[in-house]
Structure 1
Amino acid sequence: MTTMKNPNSSSSKLALLSHIKYEHLVAGISGGVTSTLILHPLDLIKIRFAVNDGRTATVPRYDGLSSAFVTIVKKEGFKGLYRGVTPNVWGSGSAWGFYFLFYNAIKTWIQGGNARTPLGPGLHMLAAAEAGILSLLMTNPIWVVKTRLCLQYSEEHIADNKRYKGMVDGLSKIYRTEGIRGLYRGFVPGMFGVSHGALQFMTYEEMKNRYNQYRNLPIDFKLTSVEYLTFAAISKLIAAVGTYPYQVVRARLQDQRGAYTGAWQCVRDTWRYEGFLGFYKGLKPNLARVVPATMITFLAYENVSHYLLNRTREMTLS
């Protein structure tokens, strides 16, 4: 049975640092950037659906996914579909990079350096949750800018100090007008979102492990592309449906038009005016984006990480 090491000992901390491998960072960034560039328009539409509470007059309303595409292109041009793409690329690339980096370091540390030691659902969720918290601390400001850029519909509705030309301009203006607190809007519901990653990674890892054990192969045995895609899709569907409400709350808190004083008020008002379904606004475009995005991300990550790790081993042996 695998046991947790004492996290207070200096030797344990040094052991954890020794398991940090740049290959996981590079592979995670590769997967996140690739999927974001392909699927950003769906992310933008999901955000606009999520913040549409039916009470804010300046928020555009779309009849459905296809209607949203047509309306945005007609009113904002094709580039309107890619509003906020720069911080999204930075955010998604860095978030996936850090997540895979931290997750694999923590997981390998728990395994005692033996990648073929099965952890079980509980420890997989623990490693994923810790990696999620660390990643969120580093990337939340980028997500705030990305959300607000996606919600810039027209010039007349936003004051100059709230209209951003890009990621750097957005970060500086938010810091000047709202301080550090502004850069970490949505952080609390984002913390609840750690459960999303923990559930997804636990499901993904357990499916891979059980599948390889069924075939009497080591749990770290490389799978085919179809197998990676299948496990990634199933794990994402389960996590997305189970934890989607926090994304609605987070997007509404990050929208500068919102009048919510905190996460609890947002939850209360959404339930009061929109009911249960209000917490699932934008779910359809979200699933249309996140499931293929996760499939692309995980496939790219698995192949790039296996390639880099094998190359590092060969260089070490030669």
Structure 2
Amino acid sequence: MAAMNTKSTKFGGKLNLSSHVKYEHLVAGISGGVTSTLILHPLDLIKIRFAVNDGRTTTVPQYSSLSSAFSTIFRQEGFRGLYKGVTPNIWGSGSSWGLYFMFYNTIKTFIQGGNTTQPLGPTLHMLAAAESGVLTLILTNPIWVVKTRLCLQYGAETSSKHTEYRGMVDALAQIYRKEGVRGLYRGFVPGILGVSHGALQFMTYEEMKNYYNTYRKLPIDTKLATSEYLAFAAISKLIAAAATYPYQVIRARMQDHHLNYTSSWDCIKQTWRYEGAVGFYKGIQASLTRVLPATMITFVIYENVSHYLLQRSKTKT
């Protein structure tokens, strides 16, 4: 935060961080996250099931491909099976995107000293995004643990040693009762490492927008066309996903109640020992199939909703 204080003073901005909070970003982020989740949750569920399949756990179903996974889950578990874990996913995605966008824009505006036309550069964009990611993860990690476990209930649990969860609230209560706060924060360490994913994505996205508007000789906060938001969102997500996907595999395995790892490092060692480098990229096809359209939907909705709400707020004042 020291770097931010220096930068904020340099641009003559207010040092009161709360004065830069715009709840329009929260609402817009929630709108985008919820919409993309409702449309694409089945792909998220399949990605998680691929990610935790270490080839050594007999209770984990085996799928040969994305289409095989989809048809098998639909045949064995029905349409509802494809939407297992959707409730915490909606809560998680909605709150995560909403909080992330709100934190990010608050910190970014704070660094800019309230001048949204002031360019930051890659380093400060990554700093703002990383700090936003950590704050968001602290608040939402329990929701992601619940979502992962609900997605990994393969029909009726046949083994008495595996807990069956009846829904989001029941899962939260059972995890807390049996595993304590630590259970709700499983996967937190690889999640922290995964903050680099969001930081890299937002830095790339912001820099592309800024460069494009500068090229057009317009202020960097000028609203773009929908097609331009779609293109920049897709490119930034591809770059971030390719660079940071392994942490998602480790995080999912740490949160899976069928698997038993003593720590994130133990999970990394076992994955490398038994599966090699390819083990860290299991589920990436399903992930990219889901995250690209999800990111594009989320960012387009966010940009348009936030622009509309901020303009309406200005006209009222």
TM-score band, normalised by shorter chain: over 0.9
Q: 2:186 matched to which residue of 1?
A: 185
Decide whether the 8 Å contact of 1:161 with 1:173 is kept in 2: no
- Letter of the 1:240 partner, please give it: A
Deviation string 1:76-120 (CA, Å, 9 cap, x unpaired) is: 001100000000000000000000000000000000000000000
Q: Percent identity?
A: 72
Q: 1:29 matched to which residue of 2?
A: 30
Decide whether the 8 Å contact of 2:5 with 2:15 is kept in 1: no
CA distance in 2 between counterparts of 1:213 and 1:304 reads 23
For these two proteins, the number of residue pairs brought into alignment is: 313
Deviation string 1:200-257 (CA, Å, 9 cap, x unpaired) is: 0000000000000001010000000000000000000000111000000000000001
- Letter of the 2:38 partner, please give it: L
Decide whether the 8 Å contact of 1:121 with 1:206 is kept in 2: yes
CA distance in 1 between counterparts of 2:269 and 2:162 reads 30
Q: 1:141 matched to which residue of 2?
A: 142
1:289 is displaced (CA, Å) by 0.3
Q: 1:238 matched to which residue of 2?
A: 239
- Letter of the 1:217 partner, please give it: L
- Runs (4+) of structure 1 exceeding 6 A deviation are none
SS of residue in 2 equivalent to 1:5: helix
Q: 1:279 matched to which residue of 2?
A: 280
Change over 3 Å in CA distance of 1:219–1:254 after alignment to 2: same
CA distance in 1 between counterparts of 2:24 and 2:260 reads 43
Q: 2:203 matched to which residue of 1?
A: 202
Q: 1:5 matched to which residue of 2?
A: 5
CA distance in 1 between counterparts of 2:243 and 2:203 reads 14
SS of residue in 1 equivalent to 2:245: helix
- Letter of the 2:163 partner, please give it: K
- Letter of the 2:50 partner, please give it: F
CA distance in 2 between counterparts of 1:306 and 1:313 reads 11
Q: 1:268 matched to which residue of 2?
A: 269
1:163 is displaced (CA, Å) by 1.2
SS of residue in 1 equivalent to 2:16: helix
SS of residue in 2 equivalent to 1:156: coil
- Stretch of structure 1 that moved more, 148-157 or 16-25: 148-157
1:20 partnered with 2:24: no
CA distance in 2 between counterparts of 1:177 and 1:13 reads 46
Decide whether the 8 Å contact of 2:162 with 2:257 is kept in 1: no
Decide whether the 8 Å contact of 2:162 with 2:258 is kept in 1: no
Decide whether the 8 Å contact of 1:193 with 1:246 is kept in 2: yes
1:168 is displaced (CA, Å) by 0.7
CA distance in 2 between counterparts of 1:157 and 1:276 reads 32
Deviation string 1:172-196 (CA, Å, 9 cap, x unpaired) is: 1000000000000000000001000
- Letter of the 2:4 partner, please give it: M
CA distance in 2 between counterparts of 1:209 and 1:126 reads 17
Q: 1:81 matched to which residue of 2?
A: 82
Q: 1:214 matched to which residue of 2?
A: 215
1:156 is displaced (CA, Å) by 3.5
1:5 is displaced (CA, Å) by 1.3
Decide whether the 8 Å contact of 2:157 with 2:164 is kept in 1: no
CA distance in 1 between counterparts of 2:259 and 2:14 reads 42
CA distance in 2 between counterparts of 1:207 and 1:292 reads 19
1:162 is displaced (CA, Å) by 1.9
